[in-house]
Structure 1
């Protein structure tokens, strides 16, 4: 077990800032701004320390760490309840059909409607993996660890989970969607608006964005082509989200037009299939004395600030019990009687 996922702390600010500088922009949850990241880490610390279980306005930041060196290779985030401090805005794509009897033609006119339909939902986001580590399954470990954390602390999260994916940007970091729409009302470039939102939140959208629907036929071809499309680097993330149970339902990000996907929290694959079990045996070799084979699994242990997740092995020893390889268990400080959550790879 060379990598594990653990909660971030304030001491991780330099490493998190290094990751943020690699994103290339458009990552609202991971701004390359030391003060903004420090504020996020402080909120995360307070969230892990909070005793109450009902979702309020928490942010949980998880980091991928190499166990031997302490290297930070990626991050992922879970927001317990969005729309708590300010509304969570999306564009909902609708279609207006109109028919002319004289022309004998029917026109379907797609439009964008500014909505706050997802206020109160939970969100997974901020998923970023160092470019050097995008092979070998570390991205899946980091992504699915968020769902193991949700399953481990289910009462802290809403019944609906969403994820936003970064939209299409050009080589200069500009968004065709923003340039065609948002820039007309805010007088700032996409990088400027993205940076402002990352630091100050989206209230300025409510202040300045027109509330009337926008017909997409009025937008340039370049803007229409990217509506609901993820950034090239986010296609793998979208595939992982879909495999977990998320689906696209015509909601897009108000800044870059990237897709927003949603799922019922209890129907997420990892939440639905993972099980909590007690460790009843540590084995130096396999199989177990009962003949149960060790199989690869994603595992997690600990609550809140003590949470950690990893790829390892477990042998199911009956209802609610598992055996672990002794070396893996000892490296994580686990022993007989401890609880782990496990799910198949």
Structure 2
């Protein structure tokens, strides 16, 4: 059974392999041992001491096969982006050019550099190994974070953001970046992607155009990918849209992938989740519901998908011994769950 838990030092090798396999455009997993270790240390420190409120905390999780011990995926929540280093996006907007005297009225699309998401909480670093992309594994990896958000909402912003990977080819070439590179930069997309991943973002403020970009001046190829996602990212976007996330015109400054957002309280799995007392069955659990469940522990957080029975009268959920053990709960404890 696949179980979600906080990342530990022993997961470094798997995390590095994920960084290699994720390819170009996956900025939050740079192929750099020092930066990966820094992220791992940041998460371990965040889980080690629960803060009183929202801060610059990083909560990294991994998906572990309870039968083999193999770690096959990862995901994370950044509690507040843009506080120590600027967090940039383009906002797709409009400008009107008109002349009543000449009878001309033109509306043009623009891209304006913003820091509008400063302080917002971000869902990030969702990666599942290709061999594990089946069944409910991707759904568990993505949606488990919503139970953590629901249980510890005071640690996060009321707005939740997710940046979707934009269009690029197998060699890391981004049509949107190719236009920016030609006119403002002298670096290819993989280099820019890597520098951003390791935190070297000073070049953005130095070289990025300061004024709105008129979209009609972009190349046909660059215009065609604004707001579109990478093929590998579409399943993740669909799951977020199921949860109530929507695109409000913000795109990544390098590959023009969409940034989607939702109010924390309006995320479907947050809103629909509930807490029930645990009863551990001494025999097979009667047929009931397939649910996403988590314990309500902070540092020892666990989440999984399992078939459970619910006794509405007693406000009780019936778990098998195996599920209770993996969730680190016993009779009388509380779990949070939402039906899949």
Question: Normalised by the shorter chain, which TM-score bucket?
Answer: over 0.9
> Against the structure 1 CA distance between its residues 161 and 188, is the aligned structure 2 distance closer, same or farther, given a 3 Å change threshold?
same
Deviations 1:288-337 (A, max 9, x none): xxxxx531100001422200100112222236432212332234442112
In the alignment, structure 1 residue 47 sits paired with structure 2 residue 41: no
Matched with 2:149 is 150
> How much does 1:159 deviate?
0.2
Matched with 2:320 is 325
Asked if the contact 1:7/1:60 (under 8 Å) is kept, the reply is yes
Q: SS at 2:336's partner residue?
A: strand
Distance 2:77 2:58 in 1: 6
Asked if the contact 2:81/2:119 (under 8 Å) is kept, the reply is yes
Deviations 1:28-66 (A, max 9, x none): 111121111111000000111123231111111111111
Matched with 1:309 is 303
Greater shift, 100-109 or 20-29, is seen at 100-109
Matched with 1:297 is 291
Among 323, 333, 341, which residue is 2:336 paired with? 341
Asked if the contact 1:283/1:324 (under 8 Å) is kept, the reply is no
Deviations 1:156-182 (A, max 9, x none): 111000000110002321111111115
Distance 2:190 2:280 in 1: 54
Matched with 2:112 is 113
Asked if the contact 2:302/2:328 (under 8 Å) is kept, the reply is no
Matched with 1:252 is 251
Greater shift, 242-251 or 315-324, is seen at 315-324
Matched with 1:7 is 6
Matched with 2:122 is 123
Q: SS at 2:299's partner residue?
A: helix
> How much does 1:131 deviate?
0.8
Distance 1:330 1:226 in 2: 47
Distance 2:74 2:203 in 1: 28
Distance 1:153 1:272 in 2: 13
> How much does 1:86 deviate?
1.4
Asked if the contact 2:7/2:43 (under 8 Å) is kept, the reply is yes
TM-score (norm 1): 0.94
- The alignment covers a number of residue pairs equal to 339
Matched with 2:55 is 56
Q: SS at 1:186's partner residue?
A: coil
Q: How does 1:221-260 map to 2 (within 5 A)?
A: 221-260=220-259
Matched with 2:74 is 75
> How much does 1:68 deviate?
1.3
In the alignment, structure 1 residue 20 sits paired with structure 2 residue 19: yes
> Against the structure 1 CA distance between its residues 56 and 182, is the aligned structure 2 distance closer, same or farther, given a 3 Å change threshold?
farther
Distance 1:217 1:319 in 2: 62
- What runs of 5+ residues in structure 1 fail to find an aligned partner? 288-292
> Against the structure 1 CA distance between its residues 161 and 182, is the aligned structure 2 distance closer, same or farther, given a 3 Å change threshold?
farther
Asked if the contact 1:251/1:260 (under 8 Å) is kept, the reply is yes
Distance 2:107 2:75 in 1: 39
> Against the structure 1 CA distance between its residues 183 and 137, is the aligned structure 2 distance closer, same or farther, given a 3 Å change threshold?
farther
> How much does 1:201 deviate?
4.4
TM-score (norm 2): 0.95
Q: How does 1:175-190 map to 2 (within 5 A)?
A: 175-182=174-181, 184-190=183-189
Asked if the contact 1:282/1:336 (under 8 Å) is kept, the reply is no
Q: SS at 1:124's partner residue?
A: strand
Distance 1:8 1:299 in 2: 18
Matched with 1:34 is 33
Greater shift, 78-87 or 200-209, is seen at 200-209
Greater shift, 73-82 or 310-319, is seen at 310-319
Distance 2:140 2:33 in 1: 27
Distance 1:333 1:251 in 2: 40
Asked if the contact 1:182/1:255 (under 8 Å) is kept, the reply is no
